[in-house]
Structure 1
Amino acid sequence: MMRRHWLLVGACGWVLLILMFVSKFINFSFRIPSDYAERREMFVWTFPSVTTKHTSVQWPDKGASQPYILSSVSPSVVEPIDWQSMNEKRLELLSTVCRNASMWNLTHTTVDKFVLDRIFVCDKHKILFCQTPKVGNTQWKKVLIVLNGVFSKVEAIPENLVHDHERNGLPRLSSMTDTEIRQRLNSYFKFFIVRDPFERLISAFKDKFVKNPRFEPWYKHDIAPAIIRKYRRSHHDDNESVGLQFEDFVRYLGDKSGRQRLDRQFGDHIIHWLTYAELCAPCDISYNVVGHHETLERDAPYILKAAGIADLVSYPNIPPGITRYNRTKVERYFTGISQRDVRRLYASYQGDFNLFDYQTPAFLLD
């Protein structure tokens, strides 16, 4: 009887130990997500004053800064990054390449009406934004529209209004007097966004000649046939109904001297594949920040903070992975294109590769 009693006590003890162990495991497994979320919400950025070689930027005082939540832009951003140093390195490289005499023709341009047309103004918050197509510019325009007071939040802005420059409340720098232009270039916060040059060209090709979502018929009916007639090597089909192929597009872009007449004919429609140097004159205008499309999840809140507007507006949510560089896609588009044509294309865009620290696509050139 006594032996049976102790066996029962022992069994109860084992059951109790097992329950305690299971309970501990369950609590641990459910605590992980909340701990991760807590770390994400407590992530803080602070920026002391800094002067870059390009221009002076007044960052928010360290003592006055408030916790800055990144989850609205990207829940994956949890590691603290010294973006002040990153921006300084980007501007230092830009300045170094701009001084390289052998690259001068690829990096410098005249700050004329064409360039000033690309720069949008927010006088209320003293911001200038240079538009570089196919790098998420629509969203930055929405941010500026909200800041200018036309709409209260980015979600309320109709898509068809964003690019309607007669109605969206975004003045261009070119619309101002010479004195007003100089004053703003010398004192406003200035930024623009860049992207791997070849991937940007693929995006422009898809948008304008394959998808053409904004119902812009001139790309299909005017620009594509003109490029095909001049640059398609095989005319055994000899019909333009096949549509512009990426190979035709590459050959046109790599012809630095021969494409000038076509570009004049195309007018401002070519902005989607012009170099960053031609669009924003980064060697001739002192920008405060150069953002990268590949790190936009982190750069977007950084830019808002640096411009002093983080508490007024947020950058629209970025779908996960959409800004990541896709080498597989680049290789697929360039399959079958001759190395001669790829090298000519690279020569045309080498300035953009060097100015913004994009790796030479050796996997396409060798």
Structure 2
Amino acid sequence: MMRRHWLLVGACGWVLLILMFVSKFINFSFRIADDYGGRAEMLNWTYLSMKTVKPLPEQPVQKAASQPSPASSGGPTEADLSDWEAVTVQRLQLLSTVCRNSSLWNLTRTPLRKFVLDRIFVCDKHKILFCQTPKVGNTQWKKVLIVLNGKFSKVEEIPENVVHDHERNGLPRLSSMSDAEITERLHTYFKFFIVRDPFERLISAFKDKFVKNPRFEPWYKHNIAPAIIRKYRKSHRDTGESAGLHFEDFIRYLGDEPGRQHLDRQFGDHIIHWLTYTELCAPCDIAYNVVGHHETLERDAPYILKAAGIADLVSYPTIPPGITRYNQTKVVRYFSGISKRDVRRLYARYQGDFSLFGYHRPDFLMD
């Protein structure tokens, strides 16, 4: 009997040792979805070509904006919001300076056409215009506008399937109005949009459309991905189209000028998730009142509500701690299998976004 007892104890010990050994090689990494909807995701590495990378320290996001410390409870205080106005002024000054830089003219200017006006949602009741920049938590801002337009009384009441249904969500687009109405609103309404580190935004777009695709948009897998693979995958010997789009294929496609433009004409408006902020919102051609940053959204969201005069009418949904923070280690992991040549070509395309909004050049990927 005693012998059985010790055999059982020994077996349990071996099981524990095996589990401890295996756990070193398996990392179940969970986080909240980009739009803070509360649904957890497990990062799928199947589509990445990566090597083990030593984590780097976090990179500061902004060049010229000091950040007040968070209030001890309940979010930023009135004093914090007042201080944050200086940050907003610095961002707009930088934007104006870069817009006047003739060497970046082709990267910062875009015609004020229907495509841009389609991106701008209107709240006439409170005189607000919001330009949608996908993959920076825009779903939550759309919910705020839906409440302000009176379609629902609270953000929490809005079904997820209604937010992006533009026939049902009660959000008119600026493009639906006459030229005179458009001009009046552009000159008199409060205007804002949100930006994010350009490369981290591309990672989010790749994961959302080609790996997870939570809203079941089959054209990304069945139309766009195969077209990119056929043109940009260097070798088809080991993996064909059925293996799915690799991040390397995606980056090579994005950095290809002008070859990419031919494919983009086929893809239509589906490419909005990785277009530049210039192409989406024309920040050098529209005088925005506030440019929020995803990385400081805990500060920016209350400030935007106050600046727009709606802070007493609606609240921005709760932001899970840490979710907006720039993650340089993740960026390094995704780009570890990408050649420096392809990274430089990608940066050349998004250089306007980096410069306009104070994001550092990613030297750690390029040099």
Match of 2:132 in 1: 131
- Supply the distance in 2 between the matched residues of 1:263 and 1:336 (Cα, whole angstroms): 25
Q: 2:76, 2:299 within 8 Å by CA — same for their partners in 1? A: no
CA spacing shift, 1:309–1:161, aligned 2, 3 Å:
same
Task: Determine the C-alpha separation between the residues in 1 that align with 2:239 and 2:327.
Answer: 33
Q: Residues 77-97 of structure 1: CA distance to partner in whole angstroms, max 9, x if unpaired? A: 996761111111100000000
SS in 2 for 1:82: helix
Is the CA contact (8 Å cut-off) linking 1:70 and 1:301 kept in structure 2? no
Amino acid at match of 1:342: V
Q: Tell me how far apart the structure 1 counterparts of residues 79 and 90 of structure 2 sit (CA, whole Å).
A: 22
Trace 1:216-365 onto structure 2 (pairs within 5 A): 216-237=217-238, 239-365=240-366
Q: Contact (CA 8 Å) 1:129, 1:190: kept in 2 or not? A: yes
8 Å Cα contact 1:193-1:291 kept in structure 2: yes
1:199 matched to 2:200? The reply is: yes
1:55-98 alpha-carbon deviations (Å, 9 max, x no partner): xxxxxxxxxxxxxx978974899967611111111000000000
Hey, what's the Cα distance between the residues in 2 that align with 1:77 and 1:248?
47
> 2:142: which partner in 1?
141
2-structure distance, mates of 1:309, 1:320: 24
Deviation of 1:261 after TM superposition, in Å, equals 1.0
Amino acid at match of 1:187: T
Structure whose CA Rg is larger? 1
Distance 2:269 2:204 in 1: 18
Instruction: Give the CA RMSD over aligned residues.
Output: 1.8
Matched, 1:166 2:167: yes
Partner Cα distance (2:162, 2:279) in 1: 26
Call closer, same or farther: CA 1:191–1:73 in 2, change over 3 Å.
Answer: farther
Preserved CA contact (<8 Å) 1:77 1:298: no
Q: Which 5+ residue runs of structure 2 have no aligned equivalent?
A: 1-69
Please report how far the alpha carbon of residue 256 of structure 1 lies from its aligned counterpart in structure 2 after TM superposition.
2.1
Change (3 A) 1:72 1:267: farther
**8 Å contact from structure 2 (residues 81, 303) kept in 1:** no
Change (3 A) 1:226 1:312: same
Question: Alpha carbons of 1:163 and 1:73: their partners in 2 closer, same or farther (altered >3 Å)?
Answer: farther
SS of the residue 2:251 aligns to: helix
TM-score under structure 2 length normalisation: 0.79
Instruction: Provide closer, same or farther for how the CA distance between residues 240 and 72 of structure 1 changes in structure 2, counting only shifts above 3 A.
Output: farther
Which structure has the higher relative contact order (CA within 8 Å, separation 6+)? Answer: 2
User: Which letter maps to 1:193?
Assistant: I
Q: Deviation string for 1:81-117 (max 9, x for gaps)?
A: 6111111110000000000000000000001000000
Contact 2:122–2:172 under 8 Å retained in 1: yes
Change in Cα spacing, 1:187 to 1:76, as seen in structure 2 (3 Å) is closer
Aligned residue number for residue 51 of structure 2: none
Aligned CA distance change for structure 1 residues 270 and 149 (closer, same or farther; 3 Å):
same
Distance across 2 between alignment mates of 1:280 and 1:77: 30
Paired residue for 2:33?
Answer: none
Report the 3-state secondary structure (helix = DSSP H, G, I; strand = E; otherwise coil) of the residue aligned with 2:265. helix
**Runs of 5+ in structure 1 lacking a partner?**
1-68
CA distance in 1, matches of 2:199, 2:182: 32
Distance in 2 separating the partners of 1:288 and 1:344: 32
The percent of aligned pairs where both chains have the same amino acid is 81
Aligned pairs for 1:68-79 (under 5 A) are 74=75
* Matched AA of 1:285: I
Distance 1:79 1:126 in 2: 25
In 1: Cα distance, 2:174 partner to 2:142 partner = 14
**Equivalents in 1 of 2:184, 2:208: separation in Å?**
36
Alignment of 1:95-106 (within 5 A): 95-106=96-107
Under a length normalisation based on structure 1, what TM-score does the superposition of the two structures give?
Answer: 0.79
1-structure distance, mates of 2:71, 2:177: 36
**Separation in 1 of the partners of 2:164 and 2:174?**
16
Q: Is the 8 A contact 2:136 2:196 kept in 1?
A: yes
Q: Give deviations 1:152-171, integer Å, cap 9, x for gaps.
A: 00000000000000110000
Report the secondary structure of 1:89's partner residue. Answer: helix
In structure 2, distance between residues paired with 1:173 and 1:167: 17
Q: What does the per-residue CA deviation read over 1:304-347, in whole Å, with 9 as the maximum and x for residues that have no partner?
A: 00000000000000000000000000000001210000000000
Match of 1:186? 187
Q: Secondary structure in 2 aligned to 1:263?
A: helix
Q: CA deviation at 1:235?
A: 1.5
